[in-house]
Structure 1
Amino acid sequence: MADTGKYLVITPEEMAYVRKQLGTNEEDIKTAVTSLREWLRMQPHLPDAVDDSFIERMYINSKCSMEKVKLGLDAYFSLKHRFPELLMNRDIEGSDFQFAKKHLKMMVMPRLTKDAYRVHVLTAVDEDSTNVIWPLYGKILTTRLEIMLVEDYSLGDVGIIDLANVNAGHIVRADINLVRNIEVCYQTAYRRRLKGLHLVNASKIIHSVMKIVKMALSEKLQKRVFAHLPGSTTLFDYVQRDCVPDELGGTAGPADNFAYKVREMVNSEWLLEKDKYMSDESKRPADNHYGDIYGIAGSFKKLSVD
């Protein structure tokens, strides 16, 4: 892993705030991590291939629920079988990733919001829809989540999608199943929580976008999607301006200052090493109920949003 901690800004005060909001403290976290590591070692089908900081962040992401962390740890290793196109072979230095960076800007803003949420932005979509390969951006998204699982410390996420250049061609090429699969990975393997998804510069195309949202996202997540018309400032009723790039009306600075910066915190070798660690389903105990929720057969009806 490359040098870390130089882009995602998390102050001791913010870390303390997150813990306070979740009703936890250093002693509780240490006890939980010790217990969860022992549980992991007792699972014959799961590798013991995570460090304490990883478990701590999954504990925080799971609102300090031991049962949800166990679900998360199982999902983290087992969903690689179910969604290899999203969770495996993530060569961020390869030609595919380099191509993607030229046709759409994805970024994680370095500062937390005042209520300790992390802001994610998607903007500058290439108007030529044939240059936007959505499955590849899904893989880039999970790469980001992988890094944040060892680097971030927040209460969840706020997403901002700029629809300014999105047209019918992009809509036709959209894959509803891909969106659903990303949601499963987001909620289970990474235990992230989405506070709100904001569609900015929403115009005539918004009706088509919302149709996809309703078909692809769970009912709870649908209620957390907000549309903002071109020229409006309603986004800032939800997100402070210093967490939004200049191009979208914020004051954080140009989008180019942030696009793909989180990806620069690691190298391909670190990510590809993750491919070695996955569940061995032949060793999953017959009475293990986690596989019923998101195992290889993959019945996702029981999933819910925290």
Structure 2
Amino acid sequence: MVLPPPTKDILERVRAEFGLDEEGMKQAIQVVKDWLKQQPHLPQDCEDGRLERWIIRCKNSLERTKKSLDLYYTLKTAIPDILLDRDPRSQWFRKVVNVAFVCPLSQLTEDYNRVTVLGCLEPDPNKIIVQDILKLSFMVQDVRMCEDYCISDVYIMDFNKFSVGHVTKVTLPILKKMEVCAMKSFNMRIKEIHLVNVPPFADTMVNLLKMVLKPKLISRIHVHTKGHAALHGMISKRILPSEYGGENGSLIDHWSAWLRKLQNYRDWFLEQDKTKSDESKRPGKAVNNGDLFGFEGSFRKLNYYTLLLVSRCEMQTDLIKPPSKEILERVRGEYNLNTERVREAVEHLKDWIQLQPHLPKETVADDGRLERWLIRCKNSTEKVKRTLDLHYTLKTDVPEIMMGWDTHADWFKSITNIVFYIPMPQLTSDCDRVTIFGLQTSNTTNFDALDYIRVTEMALEIRIREDYSLSDIYVLDLAKYSLGHIPYFTLPVLKKFILCAVGGYNLRIKAIHVLNAPPYADTLIALIKLLLKPKLAARIHVHGTDLTSFYEQVPKKILPTEYGGDSGSVSEIWDRWVKKIESYREVFLEREKHKSDESKRPGCSISSSDLLGFEGSFRKLEVD
């Protein structure tokens, strides 16, 4: 049986969880029914059993129940593409049940929670219509509101047939609608979310979810990467289908039974399509989609952020691997951070950004970027604020480096065939990122130092979105540098490079190793040291062609084969990095719009002269 009727023990246990008994429940239902009669814009025929389940889901808060009911009927008016036209004999229904499943399992957990498994049956993303999957899921929810009796929900999201193409279908506006319908209308009480059979890009989906879920719920997401042993430790095998190592029949049988039940509810669904809010009769102001979902407000940039996340998983995901739990804890622990403290700091920064009239608000939607800036600033929110302000100011005042990041432009195609700038895939044992950069050719004909620097900034932008590390180790290979390259690196150019990289991205440089240094390298290094604080200048280590001392500080296994390592050749890794940078093209073009507006800065506006000090001396940068 799909949803066995609740036993007397289950009824008493669930009601008692929220301070109710049979008589108390009757009284609560009557209060809600009396309230409904006074609402001219709402239907009056909600069954007692459904009202009881709303009261349970709202933890015996009658005011919350009233708000959820009002929202339920209002959403049916506002988003009919998801909550109306639910005929199980219609063409859309016959298609969607063959491409996706949303399958509550028949047995409750020992804590009286309902386990629901959802996932894809169709690996071809072109056959997926996300709105129809949401419609199907809320049909299942409506049946549960008629029959189910439980305390909370446990969800298992199966990524078995999920591909990168599916990610592009899941936009943030759709996720926002899902969140409002599920969490505020049906008032789902989610105890856990388990992700199983996860691919490498699962972190992208998690980040999408994080943008619409509350921190409390985000902390309940569990990612299972190896088998089902950890899942069995949290959900009994007697509840799970055989596909997940369980003892409760096959998932196919469960889903087939649910499809029969949905078909049996056809007349009910058709009748329920008539029950929705009548906004013309609502006391006070009618409710529109902007009021419900805030699309005119904080979700203006949704398509951009979906694009951002999708671009992360479309290309070269192995170049910067998602951080493991161990790396997250190690890096956060270095600065006395944990999940809750990170969230608090990020929320504080988001609030601060909203109060800055001269800064763009695009950063607010990307918690990951803010967290990485927090790590780079050693858990100092004040330093993050200064860094963010400088970052967006540099985009206004140093556009020759911080703007014009079109990977289809001639300059990009030219410079990426002349130079290389490679953050290596593997971290050191201290959780540091090694980056190797140099030249592919000694010919100076088409060399442009500003374009070289611009490519490095593009890679840094990707890293602030994806990377998770403690510090940076830079390896500068001078093998193909010549005396002809030195004139390109003027003091103003070097000043801009250090300001944009060290200041605008707050790089935490642990060491700089110079390899294959010719005799005249002293000139270039002396120029660089002029601009650095002594603390950072002391971290520059010059090696000739003998790399013995270099290997003592940087493990060989992390390095390319040209440097005695095991991580592939420079040309191979750089080619993959160029493709990764190219995959960010649309994101880079969108970010061109996000820079400081100096006309709105409180106090005096900032110019390039203020930042770079060209009229005076080359003041030393404050570098940690």
CA-CA distance at 1:21 after TM superposition: 1.3
CA-CA distance at 1:51 after TM superposition: 1.6
In 1, Cα distance between equivalents of 2:204 and 2:230: 21
Give the SS at the match of 2:56.
helix
1:187 aligns with 2:144: no
1:121 aligns with 2:117: yes
Contact 2:228 2:244 in 1 (8 A): no
CA-CA distance at 1:62 after TM superposition: 0.8
User: Deviations for 1:259-304, whole angstroms, at most 9, x for unmatched residues?
Assistant: 1533432332210211111111122112x8xx7xx76542457xxx
Runs of 4+ that moved beyond 6 A: none
Specify which of 131, 134, 141 is matched with residue 135 of structure 1. 131
In 1, Cα distance between equivalents of 2:273 and 2:178: 18
CA-CA distance at 1:169 after TM superposition: 1.1
What are the ranges of 5 or more consecutive residues in structure 2 without an aligned counterpart? 295-624
Contact 1:100 1:136 in 2 (8 A): yes
Give the SS at the match of 2:238.
helix
Identity of aligned residues (%): 31
Contact 2:120 2:162 in 1 (8 A): no
Amino acid at match of 1:244: L
Alignment match, 2:520: none
CA-CA distance at 1:240 after TM superposition: 1.4
CA-CA distance at 1:250 after TM superposition: 1.6
CA-CA distance at 1:117 after TM superposition: 0.9
In 2, Cα distance between equivalents of 1:46 and 1:228: 43
Alignment match, 1:215: 211
Alignment match, 1:234: 230
1:298 aligns with 2:302: no
In 2, Cα distance between equivalents of 1:131 and 1:242: 34
In 2, Cα distance between equivalents of 1:262 and 1:108: 8
Contact 2:102 2:140 in 1 (8 A): no
CA change 1:207–1:187 in 2 (3 A) is: closer
CA-CA distance at 1:26 after TM superposition: 0.5
In 2, Cα distance between equivalents of 1:183 and 1:208: 17
In 1, Cα distance between equivalents of 2:128 and 2:39: 40
Alignment match, 2:74: 78
Alignment match, 2:151: 155
Amino acid at match of 1:31: Q
Specify which of 66, 89, 93 is matched with residue 93 of structure 1. 89
Give the SS at the match of 2:291.
coil
Specify which of 48, 55, 67 is matched with residue 51 of structure 2. 55
TM-score, normalised with respect to structure 2: 0.45
Within 5 Å, which residues of 2 pair with 1:19-30? 19-30=15-26
User: Deviations for 1:171-216, whole angstroms, at most 9, x for unmatched residues?
Assistant: 1222222122111111222122111111011231222222222223
In 2, Cα distance between equivalents of 1:152 and 1:250: 22
Give the SS at the match of 2:118.
strand
In 1, Cα distance between equivalents of 2:101 and 2:75: 27
User: Deviations for 1:83-112, whole angstroms, at most 9, x for unmatched residues?
Assistant: 211111111221221112222333110111
Amino acid at match of 2:31: S
Alignment match, 2:63: 67
Higher relative contact order (CA 8 A, sep 6+): 1
CA-CA distance at 1:63 after TM superposition: 0.6
1:105 aligns with 2:101: yes
Within 5 Å, which residues of 2 pair with 1:250-261? 250-259=246-255, 261=257
Alignment match, 2:140: 144
Alignment match, 1:304: none
Alignment match, 1:264: 260
In 1, Cα distance between equivalents of 2:77 and 2:283: 17
Amino acid at match of 2:155: G
Alignment match, 2:307: none
Specify which of 187, 201, 204 is matched with residue 205 of structure 1. 201
Give the SS at the match of 1:261.
helix
In 1, Cα distance between equivalents of 2:91 and 2:240: 29
What are the ranges of 5 or more consecutive residues in structure 1 without an aligned counterpart? 1-5, 302-306
Amino acid at match of 1:269: D
Moved more, 240-249 or 122-131: 122-131
In 2, Cα distance between equivalents of 1:243 and 1:39: 39
Alignment match, 2:274: 276
Contact 2:176 2:293 in 1 (8 A): no
In 1, Cα distance between equivalents of 2:114 and 2:256: 15
Give the SS at the match of 1:247.
helix
In 2, Cα distance between equivalents of 1:31 and 1:214: 38
In 2, Cα distance between equivalents of 1:260 and 1:133: 21
CA-CA distance at 1:11 after TM superposition: 2.2
Give the SS at the match of 1:160.
strand
In 1, Cα distance between equivalents of 2:58 and 2:281: 26
Q: Which of the two has higher C-alpha Rg?
A: 2
Contact 1:61 1:193 in 2 (8 A): yes
User: Deviations for 1:106-130, whole angstroms, at most 9, x for unmatched residues?
Assistant: 3110111110111110245322111
Alignment match, 1:36: 32
Contact 2:98 2:121 in 1 (8 A): no
Amino acid at match of 1:8: L
In 2, Cα distance between equivalents of 1:243 and 1:180: 30
RMSD of aligned Cα (Å): 1.9
Specify which of 246, 249, 252 is matched with residue 242 of structure 2. 246
CA-CA distance at 1:14 after TM superposition: 1.5
CA change 1:104–1:300 in 2 (3 A) is: closer
1:175 aligns with 2:171: yes
CA change 1:297–1:168 in 2 (3 A) is: closer
In 2, Cα distance between equivalents of 1:184 and 1:156: 18
Specify which of 280, 283, 286 is matched with residue 285 of structure 1. 283
